[in-house]
Structure 1
Amino acid sequence: MTDPASPPGHRPGPAGVPDVFGTARLGPLTLRNRTIKAATFEGMSRGALVSDELVGFHRRHAAGGVGMTTVAYCAVQPEGRTERDQIWMRPEAVPGLRRLTDAVHAEGAAASAQIGHAGPVANGRSNRAPSLAPVGMFNPQSMRRTRAATEDDIRRITDAHATAARLAIEAGFDAVEIHLGHNYFASSFLSPRINRREDGYGGSLENRAKVARGVARAVRDEVGDRIAVLAKLNMDDGVRGGLRPEESVQVARWLQEDGSVDALELTAGSSLLNPMYLFRGDAPVREFAAAFPQPQRLGVRLVGKRFIRAYPYQEAFLLETARRFRAELELPLVLLGGITARPTMDLAMAEGFQFVAMARALLREPDLIDRIRAEPATPSLCVHCNKCMPTIFSGTHCVLA
Structure 2
Amino acid sequence: MSEYLQKCFSTAKINGLSLRNRVIKAATFEGMSRDGVPGEGLINFHRRIAQGGVAMTTIGYCSAEADGRVTDQMLYMDEQIKPQLQRLIAEVQQCGSKVSGQLSHCGNFSKNRQFQGRRPLGPSFGINSVGIAAGMPFAGSLSIAEIKERVQTFARAARFMKDTGFDAIEIHFGHGYGISQFISPRTNKRTDEYGGSLANRMRFALEVLAAVREAVGDDYPLLGKISMMDGVSDGIKIDDAVEIAKMLDRGGIDALVCSGGTSSMNPMLLFRGDSLLHGMIEQEKNPVMRMGLKMVGPKLFRHYPYEDTYFIAQAQRIRDAVACNVVYIGGCNSNRDIERVMAAGFDFVQLGRGLIYDPDFVRHAMADANYKNGCSHCNKCATLIEHPDGIRCTER
Query: TM-score higher than 0.5 here?
Result: yes
Distance 2:276 2:256 in 1: 29
By how many angstroms is 1:126 displaced? 5.5
1:3 equivalent in structure 2: none
- Alpha-carbon contact 1:125-1:142 (below 8 Å) kept: no
Equivalent of 1:82, from 70, 85, 98? Answer: 70
Aligned 8 A contact 2:24 2:350 in 1: yes
Residue 146 of structure 1 is matched in structure 2 by 139
The 2-side partners of 1:115 and 1:281 are apart by 27
2:392 corresponding residue in structure 1: 397
- Maintained 8 Å contact 2:65/2:76: yes
- Tell me by how many angstroms 1:36 deviates: 0.4
Shift of 1:38: 0.1
Which of 127, 131, 146 aligns to 2:120? It is: 131
SS at match of 1:371: helix
Alpha-carbon separation, structure 2, partners of 1:128 and 1:314: 42
> Is the CA contact 1:28–1:225 (under 8 Å) kept in the aligned structure 2?
no
Q: How does 1:304-383 map to 2 (within 5 A)?
A: 304-383=297-376
* Aligned residue-pair number: 388
Give the Cα–Cα distance (whole angstroms) in 1 for the partners of residues 68 and 35 of structure 2: 15
1:226 Cα shift?
4.5
Q: Secondary structure at the match of 2:130?
A: coil
CA contact (8 A) 2:182 2:201 kept: yes
Is it true that 1:207 corresponds to 2:200 in the alignment? yes
Give the alignment's Cα RMSD to 1 decimal: 1.6
Give the secondary structure class of the aligned counterpart of 2:228.
strand
Residue 275 (str. 1) matches residue 263 (str. 2):
no
Deviation at 1:346, TM superposition (A): 1.4
1:224, CA displacement in angstroms? Answer: 1.1
Of the structure 1 ranges 19-28 and 148-157, higher mean CA displacement relative to structure 2 is found in 148-157
Q: Report the alpha carbon displacement of residue 48 of structure 1 after superposing the two structures with TM.
A: 1.1
CA distance in 1, matches of 2:4, 2:102: 32
Question: Which AA in structure 1 matches 2:151?
Answer: T
1:109 to 81, 97, 102: 97
For 1:124 and 1:89, how far apart are their aligned partners in 2? 16
Aligned equivalents of 1:221, 1:97: Cα separation in 2: 23
Q: Distance in 2 between matches of 1:126 and 1:232?
A: 27
Matched letter for residue 304 of structure 1: G
Map of 1:288 onto structure 2:
280
How many Å apart are 1:110 and its aligned residue? 0.4
Determine the C-alpha separation between the residues in 1 that align with 2:42 and 2:309: 28
1:158-210 superposed Cα distances (whole Å, 9 cap, x missing partner): 11111111111122111000000011111011111111111110001110001
Does the CA-based 8 Å contact 2:54-2:362 persist in structure 1? yes
Partner of 1:32: 20
Tell me whether 364-373 or 59-68 shows the greater mean CA deviation. 364-373
Deviation at 1:375, TM superposition (A): 1.0
Q: Which residue of 2 aligns with 1:198?
A: 191
Q: How far is the alpha carbon of 1:80 from its aligned partner?
A: 0.8
AA in 1 matched with 2:271: F
Residue 250 of structure 2 corresponds to 257
Look up the SS of the partner of 1:62 in the other structure.
helix
The one-letter amino acid of 2:83's match is P
The whole-number CA distance in structure 2 between the counterparts of 1:126 and 1:249 is: 38
- The letter for the 1-side match of 2:39 is S
Whole-Å separation in 1 of the counterparts to 2:90 and 2:391: 22
User: What is the aligned partner in structure 2 of residue 175 from structure 1?
Assistant: 168
Matching residue's letter, 1:266: C
Paired AA for residue 166 in structure 2: F
Q: If the length of structure 1 is used for normalisation, what is the TM-score?
A: 0.94
Identity of aligned residues (%): 38
Q: Is the 8 A contact 1:123 1:131 kept in 2?
A: no
Q: Is the 8 A contact 2:70 2:110 kept in 1?
A: yes
Tell me, in whole angstroms, the C-alpha distance in 2 between the residues paired with 1:16 and 1:386.
29
Offset from partner CA, 1:138-168 (integer Å, 9 cap, x none):
1221111111112222112211111111111
Residues 128, 399 of structure 1: CA spacing in aligned structure 2 closer, same or farther, 3 A cutoff? farther
| Higher relative contact order (Cα pairs below 8 Å, separated by 6+ residues) | 1
1:244-296 Cα deviation digits (max 9, x unpaired): 1111211211111122x110001111111111110000103221112221100
In 1, are the aligned partners of 2:15 and 2:219 still within 8 Å (CA)?
no
Matches for 1:240-251 after TM superposition, within 5 Å: 240-251=233-244
User: Is the Cα contact below 8 Å between 1:120 and 1:272 reproduced in 2?
Assistant: no
Ranges in structure 2 where 5+ consecutive residues have no aligned partner: none
1:70-125 per-residue CA deviation (whole Å, 9 max, x = no partner) reads 00111001111010111100111211110000010010000000001111233254
Q: Which position in structure 2 is the counterpart of 1:188?
A: 181
2:387 is equivalent to residue 387 of structure 1: no
> For 1:370, what is the secondary structure of its paired residue?
helix
Q: Note the residue ranges of structure 1 that are not aligned, 5 or more in a row.
A: 1-11
Match of 1:120 in 2: 108
**Residues in 1 aligned to 2:44 and 2:251: alpha-carbon distance in whole angstroms:** 37
Kept after mapping to 1: 8 A contact 2:109/2:129: no
Letter in 1 for 2:295: L
Q: TM-score, normalised by structure 2?
A: 0.95
1:266 aligns with 2:258: yes
